[in-house]
Structure 1
Amino acid sequence: MATAIYLEDYLDNTKAEINILAAEYLATVKTLSSKQRVAHLQKIKSAYNKCKEYSDDKVQLAMQTSETVDEYIQRLDADLARFEADLKERMDESNFESTGRSQKGKRSSRHLGMETSEEGTPKQKKHKSTSVHSSNMLDMPVDPNEPTYCLCHQVSYGEMIACDNPDCPIEWFHFACVKLTTKPKGKWFCPRCVQEKKKK
Structure 2
Amino acid sequence: MATAMYLEQYLDSLETLPFELQRNFQLMRQLDQRSEDLKVDIDEMTESYVSEAKSLPPNDRVKKIKKIQESYAKCREFADDKVQLAMQTYEMVDKHIRRLDSDLARFEADLKEKSIQDAAGTSKVESETTLNDKRGRGRKKGRVASDDESKSSKKKQKTVESLLSVPLSSAYQSCTDVLDMPVDPNEPTYCLCHQVSYGEMIGCDNQDCPIEWFHFGCVNLTSKPKGKWYCPKCREDRDRKKK
Structure 2 length-normalised TM: 0.39
Structure 1 length-normalised TM: 0.46
Bigger share in helix: 2
